[in-house]
Amino acid sequence: MTNPDSKRQRLPRISPLITRIFLPLAVIVAALVIQYADPQFRARIRDNAFDQLQSIAPLPYRSELPVRIIAIDDASLSAIGQWPWPRTVLSGLIDRLTDMGAQVIVLDMLLSEADRTSPEQISAFWPGHQALQNALKNIPSHDKTLANSFSRSNVVIGFPIEPVAVSTIPPPAKAHFLSFGGNAADWLPHYGGGLASLPVLTDAAQGSGAISLEPSSDGVLRAVPLLYHVKDTLYPGLGLEALRLSGGVSNLTLQIAAPATGRTPGIAGVGLDKEVFFPTAPDGRVWLHFRPLAPERYLSAQSVLTGKADNKLIKDHIVFIGATAKGLGDTIYSPLGELIPGIEGHVQLVEQLMTGDTLLRPAWENDLLLATLCASGLLLEWLLARYRPVWSVLLTVLVLTGLFALSVWLFIYQHLLLDPFYPALAVSALFISMMVPRYLQTEREQRWISKAFSRYVSPNRVKFLQENPQQLELGAVYRECSFVMTDLEGFTPLIEQYTPDKLSSLINEYLEGMIEIVFKHDGTLDRIVGDAVVAMFSAPLVQPDHAARALACALEMDEFSQRCSLRQRELGIPFGRTRIGINSGNVLIGNFGGKTMLDYRALGDPINTAARLESINKRLGTRICVSKSVVDQCTGFTGRPSGRLLLKGKRETTETFEPLTEAQARQPHITEYLAAYELMDANSPDARAAFERLASKYPDDPLAVYHANRLAAGETGSTVIMREK
């Protein structure tokens, strides 16, 4: 029979067993699961590593490469006229490039509508002028003229792809694919359709390629697909199609690696001919090794049209034509942090396919992580059992240094993209799990809560967190939160007008009242920037009614700020009004800054949108601007729509509202405004007259006056394009 005392003596050994074996093993297993599952945050770490490697060793500019960009830039628009140009101008540009010896001409643009300046188009506007009708019949169509130029040249025309099916028919595929080892479509993302240029143009062009680039979620372009699966057809990307025409080949060969071959399954690469093969990632993408933006690669379109361009810069070159003028062409960020024209992605792809400088991820990346973690864990256990902890620290530093050195060497000399950040994080986590005693966790959490959140949240929340620490998530998490952004108009003139002691008294009184309101509604003070207050709700604790709290907080802030402004103005102080923006959305919430500086805050686009809504009040004439994401969560919201705002840099509109009291909502001018807005939202031609009557009848309603002026300037609908931040 076993002695009960012996059991009690062995029980304490369970805790060291968990700390020394199971906890490090759990770290290794978790790191490998994340590596193989590759969730979004893992991909973001890899993208960050990609950007850092690019910054360390960007690709140098090579002037000898036969690639050139003809830019439809601001100088060209000033000289020739606004875009779109008549097709006869494009025809002249293509003819000029062909005469200069261009090998391939690539159009990074969509020409899906007939030229409005073409004779047959103009004729439709003058039905009663027979003499003019007869004269115009003798002038060839501009689109046909451009198609004739295509026929005389070696032209690739681009088309954008759409993720969902569209009514238009994609252009005819000019390239033919020969697939070996499998079906490439099984490994490519499927797109529902594409937008084609006019048939007369696509038929005359010798090549057709997809122009749509696919930046990462942060807007940075890191990889470009060589192939696109649109409906039931394979299309080459714009750059690959340009190289196909440059090589004078009709067929592209696709090498597919099946799972049973022992290689990484997917698309292995694209062959241009028997001697030229472009390796790709399994999904057909090519990772680009970016060079800094090279102005030497660009020629202004007007310099070509006027004959000022040197023929040597065009002869035997692949020439891309695209828009780079401000507000005309698309722009993206490169991993080097540069804002570059979209056409630059296609050009750098062509250059790197020519030189073989494209990047690939090593197939043995997962095996390296497994070997590194297992070897590090065994060595750390051996060192901790026999030597002082400093040797374990030294080993960890050596492993991390080796990972970064290996990654840089592979990037520069082998064109391989190996992420050192995630393995370094995994090794660091393993080191921590083996070094830090588990029993310090509870004490650390209490100290963190007490010191950190007492500076940010209301006192009753601090007490609740201390009593209920399980309600708090200490790590960074994604969560839907609401944000209130405020800004005081005319603060800069106050700084210049009043002495520091007077000004500090004014602003402290104002900020104290605003912060008290935030705490009253159990909000968290994110930060104070000058006179601006940023508050967030549903962090650190989840608040299901965060949107309603934010709205109520903003309304009380508005009342307080109006009283404060009125009181100061009665004293002769020009205290401005407060603008407020409110928005909700998913953000990354956590503690940032490391050991030196503790900073609990939220990161994400919804915060920026709230700030933009605050500043847009100045343009709309309102004091509070609320996004639809907030309104949808506030039952019984009373207010009126202020517009569907297309914020600068955004692709989707943000529907916004101005909150009203019940008494304000019953006013006649609000009823009339809602009727006029409904007409404007439906793109009714009666909207302009309705808002003009409204503005004339209620000139002190700035929102009605704003829409009246906007519609009078030629805008239509409720979508407002904000060209400034």
Provide mean pLDDT across the span 369-389. Answer: 84
Compute the distance between CA of residue 237 and CA of residue 346 in angstroms, rounded to an integer: 8
Q: Domains plus CATH for the chain?
A: 14-54+361-436 (no CATH), 67-355 (no CATH), 443-721 (3.30.70.1230)
Compute the distance between CA of residue 24 and CA of residue 153 in angstroms, rounded to an integer: 65
Tokens of 177: 């694919």
Q: Are 293 and 340 in contact (CB under 8 A)?
A: yes
Q: Are 159 and 196 in contact (CB under 8 A)?
A: yes
Residue 4: pLDDT above 60?
A: no
Non-local (6+) Cβ contacts of 513 within 8 A are: 560, 564
Provide mean pLDDT across the span 279-297. Answer: 92
Question: 119-128, 236-245, 491-500: which range is least confident on average?
Answer: 119-128
pLDDT at 107: 95
Higher pLDDT, 290 or 127: 290
Predicted confidence band of residue 26 (pLDDT cuts 50, 70, 90): confident
Provide mean pLDDT across the span 283-303. Answer: 93
Compute the distance between CA of residue 452 and CA of residue 550 in angstroms, rounded to an integer: 22
Nearest to 489 by CA among 406, 578, 554: 578
Residue 404: pLDDT above 60?
A: yes
The tens digit of pLDDT for each residue in 604-655 reads 999 999 999 999 999 999 999 999 999 999 999 999 999 999 988 888 899 9
pLDDT at 594: 61
The DSSP annotation for 176-235 comes to EEEEESS-GGGGS-EE-EE----HHHHHH-SEEEE------TTSB--EEESEEEETTEEE
Q: 162-166, 374-378, 465-469, 482-486 — which one is most confidently predicted on average?
A: 482-486
Residue 64: pLDDT above 60?
A: yes
Provide mean pLDDT across the span 19-37. Answer: 85
Tokens of 29: 């297993």
Residue 470: pLDDT above 60?
A: no
Higher pLDDT, 677 or 526: 677
Mean pLDDT across the chain: 86
Question: 16-20, 276-280, 571-575: which range is least confident on average?
Answer: 16-20
Tokens of 660: 């009203």
Compute the distance between CA of residue 561 and CA of residue 576 in angstroms, rounded to an integer: 9
- What percent of the chain lies above the pLDDT cut of 90? 55
Provide mean pLDDT across the span 271-292. Answer: 89
Strand order in 207-210's β-sheet?
207-210, 155-159, 104-107, 318-323, 67-72, 298-300
pLDDT at 11: 37
Residue 666: pLDDT above 60?
A: yes
Higher pLDDT, 456 or 482: 482
Residue 119: pLDDT above 80?
A: no
Provide mean pLDDT across the span 436-440. Answer: 50
Residue 191: pLDDT above 50?
A: yes
Residue 453: pLDDT above 70?
A: no
Residue 2: pLDDT above 50?
A: no
pLDDT at 5: 40
Compute the distance between CA of residue 343 and CA of residue 327 in angstroms, rounded to an integer: 14
Provide mean pLDDT across the span 525-544. Answer: 89
pLDDT at 1: 38
Residue 352: pLDDT above 50?
A: yes
Burial of residue 142 (number of CB atoms within 10 Å: 0-12, 13-18, 19+): buried
Phi-psi domain of 352 (left: phi exceeds 0; alpha: psi -120 through 50; beta: other) = alpha
pLDDT at 572: 84
Residue 16: pLDDT above 60?
A: no
Q: 164-173, 199-208, 384-393 — which one is most confidently predicted on average?
A: 199-208
pLDDT at 639: 95
pLDDT at 534: 94
Higher pLDDT, 438 or 53: 53
Compute the distance between CA of residue 293 and CA of residue 31 in angstroms, rounded to an integer: 37
- Phi/psi at 528 (5° precision): -120, 125
Per-residue CA distances from 54 to 49, 181, 329, 334, 553 (Å): 9, 34, 25, 10, 45
Predicted confidence band of residue 333 (pLDDT cuts 50, 70, 90): very high
Residue 314: pLDDT above 80?
A: yes
pLDDT at 118: 75
Nearest to 589 by CA among 473, 486, 485, 484: 473
pLDDT at 725: 62
Provide mean pLDDT across the span 697-701. Answer: 93
pLDDT at 315: 95
Provide mean pLDDT across the span 43-72. Answer: 92
Predicted confidence band of residue 9 (pLDDT cuts 50, 70, 90): very low
To 10 degrees, what angle do helices 546-570 and 500-520 make? 150
